[in-house]
Amino acid sequence: MTDVSLGVSSSPDLLRSPPWTGTVIATQANYYQVRLDQPPAEESAIAPHLLLCTRRARLKKIGQQVWVGDRVVVEEPDWQNARGAIAHVMPRQTELDRPPVANASHILLVFALVEPTLDRLQLSRFLVKAESTQLSVSLCLSKADLVPIEQQQRLSADLQAWGYHPLMISNYTGQNLDPIRKQLCDRITVISGPSGVGKSSLINQLIPSVDLRVGAVSGKLGRGRHTTRHVELFELPSGGLLADTPGFNQPDWDCTAVQLTRCFPEIRQRLEQASCQFSNCLHRDEPDCAVRGDWERYDHYLTFLDEVTQYETAQEKLGDGESTTKLKVGEDGQVTHEPKLSTKKYRRPSRRAQHQTLHHLCGNLQDLTLDEED
């Protein structure tokens, strides 16, 4: 008999070793580390809370990916060796594709006040990208111990006009770390921000047992040398999980022009008070627009709108309905279009295919040699 809701067998053998539920906290190669909700009481003396798991073949066949943050069912755990097999992935509440994180509900965006110098356009890019996920967004500015309080207050007032209430924090003095701990309780949070702003130092402060490697800021690029290589969830002492996410240093646009308008709190606030003449108004040069006006990030919005519309135009010209390029923001803020890799283009052939081709050529050469001898 099969339990359809879980997709796992309930045969007598498995009833003696029932499936266990847990959360995937790390993935690397084809292995997944799962934190069990509750190890079996009868095995408590030897049962670990963490199991190193593989993915059942049937999940591979149906194309079911396993992401960090996934709620999963583990079958037949080997308590002695802390191993198991993921048999089922429960429905996700939310999905982030870059980086791949499931069931996150909060983004903690970290920028530095100094070292590197705060770039407002870059900050705006990260905020818009975070807003596009439709998760709740918190903003904290690190290295507050290096900046006079008056400067902090002026910047805080500016960012409140953007629609955010930033926390000025210091990993050195511990300033405002307790409010952050409260924000992270009982949910999965993705920590994001450019390199070199102190994300790893913040994680070390919030979770001392983690001890992430932290390096100096590169003088050439103003970037940190911390080397996160894969997505991982860290358990907070006060409850909740924190995702350290590699490859999130430069956000790419993957929203439409209409969706972009919803990613600015200032635009949302203005549309609550008045309406534009046209329902599809992009707030650029349309008549009777309720949004266009003198607000600080309006120029940012126009810049991002141009980038997004250029990308949409490029995709429409392709005419096949499938995105084959992506918008890439470089270190200097320059936007370029790069081809997405596909199976038939750009990718190198596999070693097996190369071996088969070589074997075929050798066979043809041997046939030619035999013909010449004849």
Q: Identify which of 221, 218, 219, 212 has the alpha carbon closest to the alpha carbon of residue 246.
A: 212
Instruction: Return the pLDDT at 371.
Output: 57
pLDDT tens per residue across span 263-279: 999 999 999 999 999 99
Amino acid at 249: N
> Which residue intervals of the chain bear CATH 1.10.40.50?
257-339
pLDDT at 106 over 60: yes
> Which residue intervals of the chain bear CATH 3.40.50.300?
97-244
Instruction: Return the pLDDT at 9.
Output: 40
pLDDT tens per residue across span 35-76: 999 876 655 555 578 999 999 999 999 999 999 999 999 998
User: What tokens were used for 45?
Assistant: 């003396």
Contact between 265 and 137 under an 8 Å Cβ cutoff? The reply is no
Q: Identify which of 198, 152, 157 has the alpha carbon closest to the alpha carbon of residue 174.
A: 198
Contacts by residues 46-49 (CB-CB < 8 Å, ≥ 24 positions apart):
46/79, 46/80, 47/77, 47/79, 48/79, 48/82
pLDDT tens per residue across span 201-247: 999 999 988 876 554 444 433 444 444 457 889 999 988 999 977 64
Instruction: Return the pLDDT at 367.
Output: 60
The mean of the pLDDT values for the chain is: 81
Pick the CATH number of 97-244 from 3.90.550.10, 3.30.530.20, 3.40.50.300, 3.40.50.360: 3.40.50.300
Instruction: Return the pLDDT at 74.
Output: 95
Contact between 37 and 21 under an 8 Å Cβ cutoff? The reply is yes
Instruction: Return the pLDDT at 338.
Output: 63
Instruction: Return the pLDDT at 8.
Output: 40
Mean pLDDT highest for which of 38-52, 102-116, 238-252, 338-352? 102-116
Instruction: Return the pLDDT at 218.
Output: 40
Q: What is the mean pLDDT of residues 119-144?
A: 95
Of residues 85 and 353, more confidently modeled: 85
> Which residue intervals of the chain bear CATH 2.40.50.140?
2-91
Instruction: Return the pLDDT at 59.
Output: 94
Instruction: Return the pLDDT at 370.
Output: 56
Of residues 362 and 115, more confidently modeled: 115
CATH topology of domain 257-339: Ribonucleotide Reductase Protein R1; domain 1 (1.10.40)
Q: What percent of the chain has pLDDT over 70?
A: 74
Residue 114 CB contacts under 8 Å (≥ 6 apart), including other chains: 143, 146, 147
Instruction: Return the pLDDT at 340.
Output: 62
Instruction: Return the pLDDT at 373.
Output: 58
Contact between 128 and 109 under an 8 Å Cβ cutoff? The reply is no
Among the residue ranges 100-114, 192-206, 227-241, 356-370, the one predicted with the least confidence is 356-370
Instruction: Return the pLDDT at 80.
Output: 86
Domain 2-91: CATH architecture, name and number where available:
Beta Barrel (2.40)
Q: Tokens 């070292």: give the residue.
A: 115
Name the pLDDT band for 348 (thresholds 50, 70, 90): low
pLDDT at 374 over 60: no
